[in-house]
Amino acid sequence: MNAFSAVGSWITERLPVSAADLRELTNEPVPNHLKRWWFALGGTPAYLFVVQIVTGILLAVYYQPSPTTAYESVEYITTQLPYGWYLRSVHKWAATLMIAAVILHQMRVYFTGAYRKPREINWIVGMLMLICTLTLGFTGYSLVYEQLSYWGATVGANIAGQVPLVGGLMRDMLLGGDGYNPRTLPRFFILHAAVLPVVLILLIVLHIAIIRLQGVTKFEFEDERAEPGESPPSRRTFDFFPDHMLTELAIGLVLMVMLSFLATLWPATMGPRADPLVTPDVIKPEWFFYVSFRWLKLFSGLTAVLSMGFVVFVMFAWPFIDEQIRRRTRFTEASVWIGICGVFAIIALTVWEAVVAH
Amino acid sequence: MTLDQKRWVIVALAAVFLLSLVFVQWMEIVRRAEEAGISEARHPVPSSSQDCVSCHTQVSTGIIQHWETSRHAEAGVGCVECHRAEQTDADAHTHYGNVIATIVTPKDCGECHVTEAAEFEGSHHAAGGNILASLDNFLAETVEGFRGSFNPHSPTPGRGEMAVNGMASAASGCQQCHGSKIALESTDGGLITVDDLQPDADGRPTNLEAVGRILRGPEGRPVLASSTWPNTGIGRLNLDGSRGSCSACHSRHDFSPRRARQPENCGKCHLGPDHPQKEIFEESKHGVAYRDLRDELELDGDTWVLGVDYAQAPTCATCHMSGHSRNGGKITHDPGERISWTNRPPVSLVMDTDIEGHIVTETDLATRQELIADSAQNKRNRMRAVCQHCHTPNYVDAFYEQYDDLVILYNEKFAKPGQKIIAALREQQLLTPTEFDEEIEFTWFYLWHHEGRRARHGASMMAPDYTHWHGMFEVAERFYMELIPQARHLAEGAGARGAEVERVIDEILARPEHAWFEEGAEAQAEAIREAMRERYGDRS
C-alpha cells in the first residue's frame, strides 16, 4: 500500500464519503438552456458576495467603528494603507455590481415565470435576499461616516419612524436611540459585517438547496425543437463538470476584470466628514435607493411609507397574485406587461432622481 | 462553444485579469512615490484642456509641469478656463479651435476669485501703473533714456539694428514692477492700448475702428507690442480696462500659495536703495526668526492662518495680507488695509482714506472727519490685531509710538524744510522747470526718495541699521552737506530772489533742532565726551 492510498483510507474511514458520491452530488446534469449565459446570472451575485466577504474582512481589519475614528480609518485605508484604495474600491464596485446582478437575476426569473408553482417559496427567499443585499448596501455606505453616511442614516431612520405602530421602535433599534448617537455606528457595523452576511449565507444555502431539490426550471427554445427521433430538448442536459463550471469560471473572470478596471479607473473617493451641525443642501442616497427616495418625495410621510410597504408586499406575494390572475382571468400574460410597466417605473424614478438637484 | 474554446476564453480572461493586477501594482507604486515625495502628485487633465496639454507638453514642457502641480490642476481648472476669450475681445484669437487670449487679466481671474479681485482692485498695488505718468518715470524715459528711438552714433559689431529704443530702461525697469500699459501693434505702425479700445464694463472694446487696425499674425493672433509684453507688473494697464496682474505675486503656471507666502516673492520689487523692505525685514528680528524657522511655518498648508496654522515667525504676507485667528482667518488682497502711514511721498502722510481709497489731505478737522471713510487708526488696529498674536498690547502701542516719533522727526526736521527750500528755489525761478537737470534736484530726490524712505521703512519694520546708518544719518548728511550748500550756491548772486531763498534757509537753520549746525554745539559735544570718559576712561 503506498502512502497516498494509506492517507486516503485513513480519511475515508473517518469521513465516509466516496469520491464517486461526491462526483454525483456535484455533477448533477445541467439543463441545456443554461448554455445561454443570461441564465447563469444567478451565480453572479453569489460570486460577487464571495468577493465582498474577502475584501470586507480585509477592510474590517483596519476599520474602526466609532464617530471619532470611522472617517479617519477609512481615510487611512484609502490614502495610506498599501493597496487599501484598491480593496475599498473593489468592495464598493462589487457592491454596486452585486446589487445590479441581483436585480437582473430577479428580472430574468420574473419574466421567464420561474417563480411559478412549485417555486413560490424560493421567490420569497429571493425577495428576502434582495432586501438583505440592499440593507447591506445601506449599512455599508453608512460606515464611512461622511456627510452622506450620517444624513443618509438619519433620513433612513426617520423613514422607518413613519411606519405606523412599530415605527418608533424600528427607528430606535436602527439607531440605538431616538437619534444618531455614538452607539449608532457600531450597530451598523455589526449589522453590515456580521448579522446580514450570516443571514445572507443562510438564505443562499436555502435558495440553492431548494433549487437542487426542485431542479432548475427547464426551458425550451424555438430553435431547439426536437427533431424526429431525438429526445425532447427539455430533457437534454450537459455536465456540471467541467462544462458549466468553465462557464461560471469565465463569468467570474469577466467580473474580476471588470472590478479591477472599475476600481482603478474610478476608485472610491471620500465625501466631506459627517457634520451633525451642517445639513447638506442636497442629500442623495446611493443609486440603488434613488427609486424609493423619489417615491418618498412624491408622497407625504405616511402615504409614502404605506404605499412603499404595499409595493414590497405585492412583490413578496407576486407568485400567488399571479396565480390568481391566471386562474380567474384570461390575461395569462398579464405578469409580463405588469413587469414591463414595473421596470419602466423603476427606471423612470431612478433617472428622475438622478437628474434633478433636489 | 466547445470545451476547448471555453478553455481558451478562460486563459485569455485570466491573462487580462493578471494584466489588471499589474496595473494595480503600477498605481500603487506611483501612489507610494507620491506619498514619499519622490514624484509630484498627478491630476487628471480637464477634457477642455486635453489638446492644449498634449501639444504644450512637447513645445513648452515647463508650463505643463508647473500647472500639473498647481491647485488649479487639482481643482480641474485647465488652460482654457483661464485663457478663454470672447471673439469680440481685442486680443482674442482662435487657437486650435479655442478662442483664447494670451494675457490673463484680473478680470479673468475675478470670474472665480471674486472677492480677491475686488480687494486687489481697490488696493494701492492695482494703482502701481500710475507711475507711468509720474516723476519717477521721467527719470527712466528722459533722464536715463529717450522718449522714442534714436540712431546709434557708432556701429556695434555683431548687431545690425539701426534704432536705439529710448524706452528700454522704462520697459525693463520701472514697468516690470509697476506694470506696463499693454499695447497691440497697429497696421499703421502705431500702438493700440486701452485708451484707444475704450472697453466697456465687460472689458469689450467699444472703439471698433481701433479694433480694425489691430495687426494680426499667424492664426489671426493680435501682435502684442514687445515693449509692453511680457510684463507681470502689479499695476499693469490691461486691454480690457482692468488694472494689475495676479501673476505678479501668484507666479504662473503653478500659482503656488507657498511662494506667495514668502518674502522673496515680494522682494522682486520691494528692495533696493529706494524702498529696501525685503532687506529691512531680513535685518529685523522678524526676518531672523523667519530664516531660522521657515521649515516649521507650514508654508504648504491648505490654509495659512496666523495663530492657527503657525505662529513661529511672520513673513510680509503674514502682517500685511494673511488671515489670522483674530479676524476669522480673513485674507485681504489690499495690503494697504493695515498700513497707517504712507512713507512713499517726500513727507509721510497719515493713511486716512476717503471712499475711493485716496488719502485725505484736508486740514479742516470737521471736513476731514466727513471725508474719511477708513481711518489710519482703523488700519492700525487691523495691524495691531496681527501684532498681538506674539506681542502684548502695551508692547505694540509702545512700538507704534517709536515708529510715529521717527516718522514725525524725519518729516519735521528734514522733509518739510527740504520741500520748503526746493519750493522757494522754484518760486524764485532759480531752478528750471525741467526736473533732474540740476544737481540739487538729484540731491533732494536722494534725500527723500532713497534715504528718507529707508529711515522710515526701517523704523516701520524694526531694522535699526536701516533707520539710522542707511537712513537718518544719510538724510542728515545729504541735508547739511549737500542740500543747504547747493541751495545757498544757487541763491548767491541772484539778488533779491536769492535773498528770499537765503531767508528761508536761515529761518530753517535758526530753529532749535538745526541751531547746532551754524551756532555750533561744543557744550553738548563736551558733555558727551565727559560721559564717555566716565564710562570708559581716558583712552586717548
Q: Chain B: nearest CA to A35, how far in angstroms?
A: 9
Are residues B245 and B279 both part of a single domain?
A: no
Chain B residue closest to A82 (CA)? B28
Are residues B469 and B356 both part of a single domain?
A: no
User: Is B12 part of any domain?
Assistant: no
Contact B428, B500 (CB under 8 A): yes
To test the contact with chain A by mutation, choose from B5, B10, B25, B34 the residue with the greatest count of A C-beta atoms within 10 A, namely B10
User: Is B30 part of any domain?
Assistant: no
Chain A residues within 8 A of B28 when measuring between CB atoms: 82-83, 86
- pLDDT for res B41: 58
Chain B residues within 8 A of A253 when measuring between CB atoms: 10, 13-14, 16-17
Are residues B359 and B272 both part of a single domain?
A: yes
Q: Is A3 exposed, middle or buried (0-12, 13-18, 19+ CB in 10 A)?
A: exposed
- pLDDT for res A221: 60
Q: Chain A: nearest CA to B330, how far in angstroms?
A: 21
Q: What is the largest CA-CA distance in chain A?
A: 78
Are residues B355 and B276 both part of a single domain?
A: yes
Helix (H, G, I), strand (E, B) or coil at B184: strand
Residues A243, B20: C-beta atoms closer than 8 Å: no
Identity at B187, one-letter amino acid code: T
Are residues B130 and B246 both part of a single domain?
A: yes
Contact B504, B421 (CB under 8 A): yes
Are residues B83 and B186 both part of a single domain?
A: yes
Q: Chain A: nearest CA to B18, how far in angstroms?
A: 8
Residues A254, B24: C-beta atoms closer than 8 Å: no
In chain A, the domains with their CATH numbers are 28-217+238-277 (1.20.810.10)
Residues B13, A253: C-beta atoms closer than 8 Å: yes
User: Is B533 part of any domain?
Assistant: no
Contact B205, B198 (CB under 8 A): yes
User: Is B537 part of any domain?
Assistant: no
User: Is B371 part of any domain?
Assistant: yes
Specify the DSSP element, H or E, that contains A261: helix A245-265
Residues B31, A254: C-beta atoms closer than 8 Å: no
Contact B475, B455 (CB under 8 A): yes
To test the contact with chain B by mutation, choose from A244, A256, A259, A269 the residue with the greatest count of B C-beta atoms within 10 A, namely A256
- pLDDT for res A226: 54
- pLDDT for res B502: 97
Residues of chain B contacting A, Cβ within 8 Å:
1, 3, 6-7, 9-10, 13-14, 16-17, 20-21, 23-24, 27-28, 31-32, 35
Residues 6+ apart with CB under 8 A from B338: B319, B320, B332, B379, B380, B382, B383, B386
Given A35, A254, A263, which is nearest B13 (Cβ)?
Answer: A254
For residues B431 and B417, what is the distance between their CA atoms, to the nearest angstrom?
A: 17
Residues B14, A253: C-beta atoms closer than 8 Å: yes
Given A35, A257, A263, which is nearest B13 (Cβ)?
Answer: A257
Contact B382, B338 (CB under 8 A): yes
Work out whether strand B98-100 and strand B93-95 pair parallel, antiparallel, or are unpaired: antiparallel
For residues A86 and B29, what is the distance between their CA atoms, to the nearest angstrom?
A: 13
For residues A264 and A270, what is the distance between their CA atoms, to the nearest angstrom?
A: 15
Q: How many CB pairs under 8 A join A and B?
A: 46
Chain A residue closest to B28 (CA)? A83
Residues A83, B17: C-beta atoms closer than 8 Å: no
Helix (H, G, I), strand (E, B) or coil at A308: helix
Chain B residues within 8 A of A250 when measuring between CB atoms: 6, 9-10, 13
Structure-block grid coordinates of residue B72 = 488649479
Are residues B379 and B429 both part of a single domain?
A: no
User: Is B16 part of any domain?
Assistant: no
**Final residue in a domain of this structure, among B219, B238, B254:** B254
Q: How confident is the model at residue A220 (pLDDT cuts 50, 70, 90)?
A: low
Chain B residues within 8 A of A254 when measuring between CB atoms: 13
For residues A39 and A36, what is the distance between their CA atoms, to the nearest angstrom?
A: 6
Residues B6, A254: C-beta atoms closer than 8 Å: no
How many domains, in total, are found in chain B?
3
Are residues B228 and B336 both part of a single domain?
A: no
Q: Of residues B425 and A208, which shows the higher confidence score? A: B425
Chain B residues within 8 A of A256 when measuring between CB atoms: 17, 20
Label each residue of B515-526 as H, E or C: HHHHHCCHHHHH
User: What ipTM was assigned to the predicted interfaces of this complex?
Assistant: 0.74
Helix (H, G, I), strand (E, B) or coil at A131: helix
**Final residue in a domain of this structure, among B367, B394, B421:** B394
Are residues B368 and B405 both part of a single domain?
A: no
To test the contact with chain B by mutation, choose from A51, A249, A269 the residue with the greatest count of B C-beta atoms within 10 A, namely A249
Chain A residues within 8 A of B7 when measuring between CB atoms: 246
Tell me: pLDDT of A36 over 80.
Answer: no
Residues B10, A247: C-beta atoms closer than 8 Å: no
Chain B residues within 8 A of A257 when measuring between CB atoms: 13, 16-17, 20
Query: Span A265-286, mean pLDDT?
Result: 82
The full length of chain A comes to 358
Given B3, B7, B17, which is nearest A260 (Cβ)?
Answer: B17
Chain B residue closest to A264 (CA)? B24
To test the contact with chain A by mutation, choose from B24, B27, B35 the residue with the greatest count of A C-beta atoms within 10 A, namely B24
Residues B24, A264: C-beta atoms closer than 8 Å: yes
Given A35, A246, A253, which is nearest B7 (Cβ)?
Answer: A246
Chain A residues within 8 A of B31 when measuring between CB atoms: 85
User: Is B104 part of any domain?
Assistant: yes
Contact A93, A259 (CB under 8 A): yes
Residues B6, A247: C-beta atoms closer than 8 Å: yes
Domain limits for position B356: 257-394
Work out whether strand B93-95 and strand B191-192 pair parallel, antiparallel, or are unpaired: unpaired
Chain B residue closest to A263 (CA)? B24
Buried b (16+ CB within 10 A) or exposed e, A324-354: ebbeeeeeeeebeebbeebeeebeebbeebe
Residues A260, B21: C-beta atoms closer than 8 Å: yes
**Final residue in a domain of this structure, among B344, B368, B394:** B394
Chain A residue closest to B20 (CA)? A260
Tell me: pLDDT of A37 over 70.
Answer: no
Long-range contacts of B432-436 (CB under 8 A, 24+ apart): B435/B135, B435/B138, B436/B138, B436/B139, B436/B142, B436/B143
DSSP conformation class of B242: -
Residues 6+ apart with CB under 8 A from B357: B122, B123, B124, B336, B374
Chain A residues within 8 A of B24 when measuring between CB atoms: 83, 86, 260, 263-264
To test the contact with chain A by mutation, choose from B4, B10, B17, B25 the residue with the greatest count of A C-beta atoms within 10 A, namely B17
Identity at B226, one-letter amino acid code: S
User: Is B249 part of any domain?
Assistant: yes
Ramachandran area for residue B407 (φ above 0: left; ψ -120 to 50: alpha; else beta):
alpha
Residues A86, B9: C-beta atoms closer than 8 Å: no
Residue pLDDT tens, chain B, 540 long: 777 888 888 889 889 988 988 888 888 888 788 777 666 656 677 878 888 998 999 999 999 999 988 989 888 899 999 999 999 999 999 999 899 999 999 999 999 999 999 999 999 999 998 877 677 778 998 999 998 889 888 888 888 767 899 999 999 999 999 999 999 999 999 999 999 999 999 999 999 999 999 999 988 899 999 999 999 999 999 999 999 999 999 999 999 899 999 999 999 999 999 999 999 999 999 999 999 999 999 998 889 999 999 999 999 999 999 999 999 999 999 999 999 999 999 999 999 999 988 999 999 999 999 999 999 999 999 999 999 999 999 999 999 999 999 999 999 999 999 999 999 999 999 999 999 999 999 999 999 999 999 999 999 999 999 999 999 999 999 999 999 999 999 999 899 999 999 999 999 999 999 999 988 888 888 888 888 888 888 765
Are residues B200 and B342 both part of a single domain?
A: no
- pLDDT for res A249: 87
Dihedral in degrees, nearest 10, Cα atoms B248, B250, B251, B252: -110
Residues 6+ apart with CB under 8 A from A51: A90, A91, A94, A255, A256, A259
Cα B123 off chain centre by: 11
- pLDDT for res B97: 87
Cis before A232? omega within 30: no
Chain A residues within 8 A of B13 when measuring between CB atoms: 250, 253-254, 257
For residues A65 and A81, what is the distance between their CA atoms, to the nearest angstrom?
A: 17
Residues B31, A85: C-beta atoms closer than 8 Å: yes
Contact B456, B280 (CB under 8 A): no
Chain A residues within 8 A of B8 when measuring between CB atoms: none
Are residues B133 and B181 both part of a single domain?
A: yes
- pLDDT for res B526: 87
Residues 6+ apart with CB under 8 A from B250: B256, B257, B259, B260
Chain A residue closest to B25 (CA)? A83
Are residues B130 and B218 both part of a single domain?
A: yes
Residues A260, B23: C-beta atoms closer than 8 Å: yes
Q: Chain B: nearest CA to A133, how far in angstroms?
A: 26
Select from B291, B296, B294 the least CA-distant residue to B278.
Answer: B291
Chain B residues within 8 A of A80 when measuring between CB atoms: 35
Residues A260, B31: C-beta atoms closer than 8 Å: no
Mean pLDDT of all residues in chain A? 85
Q: Is B300 exposed, middle or buried (0-12, 13-18, 19+ CB in 10 A)?
A: exposed
Tell me: pLDDT of A291 over 80.
Answer: yes
For residues B18 and B189, what is the distance between their CA atoms, to the nearest angstrom?
A: 66
Q: What CA–CA distances, in Å, run from B495 to A182, B425, B492, B499?
A: 96, 13, 8, 6
Given A85, A250, A260, which is nearest B20 (Cβ)?
Answer: A260
Q: Chain A: nearest CA to B22, how far in angstroms?
A: 10
